[in-house]
Structure 1
C-alpha cells in the first residue's frame, strides 16, 4: 500500500503508465473519495527542476470543467516524491472509448459532438492562459459521466505543457508520435537534426488527428505495416499530403499513397456534420505552419458548428435521411437551401409533412420556431418533381469480417475476435438504418395517401354542390322562358354538367386506387412490425461479446492449459458460426426485405404521382368551370330581377323530386344559389393553390 498524508492506493490499481510517471486510483483517507494520483518515477527527476515543477504550476493556474482538476500536491512517504492528487475520471479516456468494439468505426454523432465541444472549450481555456499542451491525443482526454448520464471529457497530462503566446516559438520536442506535427516528428522520431522552431499551432495538428480518430475509429495517416513499423513512410505521408487531403493510406508494401478528401463511408457521422468537419480538418492538418489556421479561426469555425441546431429531414422519394445544421436565427430560406445542398431538390419543389400534416414554412420564419424533429420523427420531404430512390448508403459489412488463423495464438485471436465483434456492431447499425428507412417510407406514404384522399373528397364535395346549382338554375330557366340569356345559360350549365360528371367519375376511380394503396400499405406495415432481424443480430452480438471477454482474459497467458486450449478452439468455431449467422440474417433477410420495400415504395410513389397529376387536370377543369360560373352570375341576377314580376303568369312545371315546388321557393332557392356559387369560387381558389403544389412532372422510368 502506497500513501501520502491524506491519500492511499495499491500498485495494482494503476490507471495509466507513461515515460515519467504512473497514475493510480487512490482514496482520501478521511472521506473515502476516489481520486487519481500521479506518481513520478526516477526518470522524471533527471529533468531540470523547472521542468519538473512546470506541470504543478500549470495545473494550479488552470480551472475549467473540461480540464482535470488538481486537488493537492503531496509527498509520498519517506521518498518525498511529489505526487499530484487529481480528479478521478471513472470512465477512462477517449482512447478507452475508441478501443471498444462498438466504436471501431468511430463515435456516434451525439458523442462526437460532446468530444468536439469538450476539447474546444478546454483548449480555449489553455489559450486564454497562454498555455500550449504539446501532447494532445485521445489517451490524454479523460471521460467521466455527468449527473444526467452524459459524457464529459477533460484534458489531462500537462507534463509537456508550457506557457507560450501565439507569436512565440519553442524548440524542445514532446508528444506521442502518431499525433506529432511532421516537423516535430522528423526530429523526435526520425532523429534528424534540424533548427526549426515550433509554434502553438502544433497543438492544432494533434487536435486534427484526434478528431479524425474520434470520427472514424482509425488514424488518418497509415503507412503499410503501421506508423510504428514504417516511420519513414509515416513522415513521407504527412509531409507530402496534398492541400485539402485529410488522410493518406498506403495499402501495399512500397505501394502508392491513397489520399482521402472526405471521411470514409463507414464513419457514423451524418453527411451534414461530415461536410462541416471536412471544412476544418485540412486547415489544421497543415504541415506548413504559415498556412495553418490560427487558434482564433479554429475556435470560430468549431464554435460555429457547436452553436447550430439540427433538424432531421427524410426525403421520401429518395428514401434517405439527412441532418441539417443551421443557426437558430436562420430563416426558412437558409434551411431550404441547406436541404437543397444535400438532396439536390430545389427549394421551390420542397414540400414538408410532419405528424400527417402539411408544414407550411414561411420564408421569414426563424429556425428556432420550427417544429421539433428527431431521427424517429423527422420532417418528411416530398419533392414536386420526380426523384430517383437513393436509399441508405453503406459499405457491405461482409468486407469487414476477418478470419481466424488456424493455429492457437491468444494475442492474435483476441485481436481477430475484437474485429469480428466490431464488424458485428457495424452490421447491427446498418440493419437498424435499413429498418428505420422502411418505417419512414411507410409513414410518409401513409401521410401522402391520406392527403390525396382528402383532396379527392373536397373535389367530390364541390361536384355535388355544382350539381345542385345546375338543377336549381335549370328550374329557374324553365320558369322564365322569355329571357334572352336562357340559351347561353343552359349551354354553359350543360358543359359544366358534363365536366362535373366526368370529374365525379374520375374522383371515384382515384379514391379506389388510394384504397388499394392503403391495403398494400397495411400489408407492408405488418411485415415491418413483425421483423425481428435486428433482435436476432443483437442476440448474436451478446454471445460474441462473451467470447471476446474470455479471449481478453486468455490473451494475458503465454500458453493455455490443455482444457482451456480446447475450450478456446471451440470458442473460435462458435465465434465464426455466430459471425456467419449475423451476415446471413443481414444479407438474406434484412437486405432482401429492404430492397423489396424500396421497390414497392417506387411503385407506390409512381401511382400517387399519377393521381396527383390527375388532380392537376381536375384542378384545371374546375378552374375553367369557375370562370364560366362567374359569367353566369350576371344572367342569374337578371333572372332574379325579372322573375318576381312574371312568376304569376308563368306556368310552373312539375318539379323534379327534391327541388322546390312553388314560384316563391324558386326565388328563394336561386338567391341561396348565388351565395353558394360565390362560396364555391372561394373554395376552388383555395383548393387549386394546394393541389398545384402537388403537381409533378410525368413519372420517369424506374420511379
Structure 2
C-alpha cells in the first residue's frame, strides 16, 4: 500500500499485476472487471483520483470531497434505467443536473451507447418517448427501451465466456484447499451474473418487441385514418371548386364581358386536388400490407424455444449451484481452522473437495451447453426480427411524412379557394348591381334560349316578351346563391374536419 500511494503517477486510480511480484500496470480509469456501471463510474473516477492523489498541491480539500459525494448520492437517487437493445446492456443514466430535459437525456445516452440523438428511438410502456412525454419514472423492471434507427445488429456484449475454475492440489492441504474453494466461489458468482444478464436480456427482449410492434400498429392505423380524412377533404375542396365554376359559367353567359379567368384558376386548383387524390389512393395497398403484418407473431416464430421463462430457469439453476459451491467453501474454511483434524474430519474434507469440484463442472457444463448458446440464439433472433420491424417502421414514417405534406398542400389550396370564392362573390354582386349594356340587351333579346332557363311562353298577338332584364339577372343571382347555399354544408364540414385533424407530432 505504501508503494501504491507513494510511487504511482498523479491521477492514477487503478492497477493490476499479471503474477506475484510482477510490475504493476497503472491506469487512470477503473478496470474492466469493476462492477460499477459506466454512468456511476464516471462520477466515482474523479472522486477516487482526488482521494488517491499523491501531490500535495492536487490533494482534495474536505469541501471538494463532500461536494463530490453529495453529487454522487443525488445523482444515484435520480438514476434513469435504459436498456440498449443492440448490445443487450442496461445503461444507467445519472443526471448531473436536477432538471434533466429530453435533450440532455439524449446526450447522456449517446455518451454511453454511441447512438446519436437523431438515431435514437426510445420506448417506455409501449409508447414512444418524446419531448412532450418527459420526464417519467423508470426502474430495472420497466426501463427505457433504446433502439437504433439505422443499425439492426444485435450482440450480447456482457454474455461472457465459459469460466475457468481453479483445481484442487493432489495432496490435501487445508490452507490451500480453502483458498482454492474461495476462488471457485468467486468464479461461480461471475457465472451467476452472466446467467442473470442473459435472463434479463430475454425478458426485456420480449418487452421491446411487444412495445415496438404495438407502436408500429398504432402509427399505421393513424396514418390510414389520416389518409381517409385527407381524401375526404380533397373531395370537399373539389366539390367547392366545381360549384363556383358552374356559378361562374352562369354569370359569364349572362354577362359576356366578364372575364372567365376565375374559372380557369379554379380548374387548375381542381387538377392539383385530383393529383393529390390519386396519390393518396395509391397508398392504400401499402397501408393494407403494413396493417396485415403481425410482428408479434413473427417474433414468436423466430424466438421459439427462447422464452424468458427458459432464461429464468437457467439462471435459477446456476444460482442454486453457486449456493452449493459457497456452502462447500464454508466447510473447507472451517476445516482450515482445525489444525489437527480427525480421520472423519479428513474424510468429510475430501468429500467437500469432490463436491466443490463436481459443482464447478456442472456450472461449466450448464454455461457451455445451455446459457451461452441460448444467448447467441437470442441475439440472432432479435437481430432478424428487428430487420423486419425496422423496415415497417421506416415505411410508416415515410407515409406519415407524405400525409403531412399532402395535408399542408390541401391547406394552401383551401386558402386559395377562399380567396377565389371571395372574388367570385364580389364579382357576382357587381354584375347584379350594374345595368346591362345595349349590346347585352340586344343579345338578351335574341331568340336563342338560355341554357339555364326555359323560353318564355308565347304572348297573344304573336309578340314575345324580352327574355333578359335586370329582374332576370336578379333571378339568376338568387339561383347562384342557392347553389352556394347547397354547398355550404360541404364548407362547414371541411372546416370541422380541419379543426378535428389530430396532431401527428404527438
Check whether TM > 0.5: yes
- SS at 2:163 equivalent: helix
Correspondences of 1:421-436 after superposition (within 5 Å): 421-436=185-200
Deviation at 1:667, TM superposition (A): 2.5
Change (3 A) 1:576 1:647: farther
Change (3 A) 1:503 1:474: same
Correspondences of 1:255-266 after superposition (within 5 Å): 255-266=22-33
The gaps in structure 1 that reach 5 residues or longer are 1-177, 183-234, 651-661, 691-703
Q: Deviations over 1:28-65 (max 9, x none)?
A: xxxxxxxxxxxxxxxxxxxxxxxxxxxxxxxxxxxxxx
Contact 1:265 1:395 (8 Å CA) reproduced = no
Change (3 A) 1:273 1:387: farther
Alignment partner of 1:558 is 2:334: no
Deviation at 1:497, TM superposition (A): 2.6
- SS at 1:279 equivalent: helix
Change (3 A) 1:581 1:648: farther
> How far apart, CA to CA, are the structure 2 residues paired with 1:649 and 1:636?
29
Return the index of the structure with the highest Cα Rg: 2
> How far apart, CA to CA, are the structure 2 residues paired with 1:630 and 1:647?
35
Alignment-derived partner of residue 80 in structure 2: 311
Alignment partner of 1:330 is 2:99: yes
Alignment-derived partner of residue 178 in structure 2: 414
Contact 2:156 2:375 (8 Å CA) reproduced = no
> How far apart, CA to CA, are the structure 2 residues paired with 1:649 and 1:528?
80
The one of 337, 344, 353 equivalent to 1:572 is 353
CA-atom RMSD, angstroms?
A: 3.6
TM-score by length of 1: 0.55
Name the stretch that deviates more: 401-410 or 560-569.
560-569
Contact 1:318 1:387 (8 Å CA) reproduced = no
Deviation at 1:676, TM superposition (A): 5.1
Contact 1:629 1:677 (8 Å CA) reproduced = no
Q: Deviations over 1:120-163 (max 9, x none)?
A: xxxxxxxxxxxxxxxxxxxxxxxxxxxxxxxxxxxxxxxxxxxx
- SS at 2:331 equivalent: helix
Contact 1:314 1:381 (8 Å CA) reproduced = yes
Deviation at 1:238, TM superposition (A): 4.4
Alignment partner of 1:623 is 2:393: no
- SS at 1:545 equivalent: helix
Alignment-derived partner of residue 604 in structure 1: 385
> How far apart, CA to CA, are the structure 1 residues paired with 2:138 and 2:106?
15
Deviation at 1:395, TM superposition (A): 5.0
Change (3 A) 1:575 1:673: same
- SS at 2:140 equivalent: coil
> How far apart, CA to CA, are the structure 2 residues paired with 1:302 and 1:476?
70
The one of 132, 142, 151 equivalent to 1:377 is 142
Alignment partner of 1:528 is 2:304: no
Alignment-derived partner of residue 453 in structure 1: 217
Alignment-derived partner of residue 66 in structure 2: 299
**Quick one: higher RCO (CA 8 Å, sep 6+), 1 or 2?**
2
> How far apart, CA to CA, are the structure 2 residues paired with 1:664 and 1:362?
43
> How far apart, CA to CA, are the structure 2 residues paired with 1:378 and 1:567?
48
Deviation at 1:469, TM superposition (A): 4.2
- SS at 1:398 equivalent: coil
Q: Deviations over 1:153-208 (max 9, x none)?
A: xxxxxxxxxxxxxxxxxxxxxxxxx4xxx3xxxxxxxxxxxxxxxxxxxxxxxxxx
Correspondences of 1:76-225 after superposition (within 5 Å): 178=1, 182=2
Alignment-derived partner of residue 491 in structure 2: 671
Alignment partner of 1:583 is 2:364: yes
Alignment-derived partner of residue 133 in structure 1: none
TM-score by length of 2: 0.74
- SS at 1:393 equivalent: helix
Alignment-derived partner of residue 593 in structure 1: 374
Deviation at 1:580, TM superposition (A): 1.7
Q: Deviations over 1:267-326 (max 9, x none)?
A: 222111112222122232233444422333222222221232322122334432111222
> How far apart, CA to CA, are the structure 2 residues paired with 1:319 and 1:295?
40
The gaps in structure 2 that reach 5 residues or longer are 250-262, 433-449, 455-481
Alignment-derived partner of residue 402 in structure 1: 166
Deviation at 1:554, TM superposition (A): 1.9
Q: Tell me the matched-pair count.
A: 433
Alignment-derived partner of residue 442 in structure 1: 206
- SS at 2:34 equivalent: coil
> How far apart, CA to CA, are the structure 2 residues paired with 1:589 and 1:669?
69
Q: Deviations over 1:611-643 (max 9, x none)?
A: 232233323432342244235434488689789
The one of 100, 124, 133 equivalent to 1:354 is 124
Q: Deviations over 1:393-426 (max 9, x none)?
A: 3654614x21111221122112211221221122
> How far apart, CA to CA, are the structure 1 residues paired with 2:132 and 2:411?
32
The one of 224, 230, 238 equivalent to 1:466 is 230
More strand by share: 1
The one of 492, 499, 503 equivalent to 2:272 is 492
Deviation at 1:518, TM superposition (A): 0.9
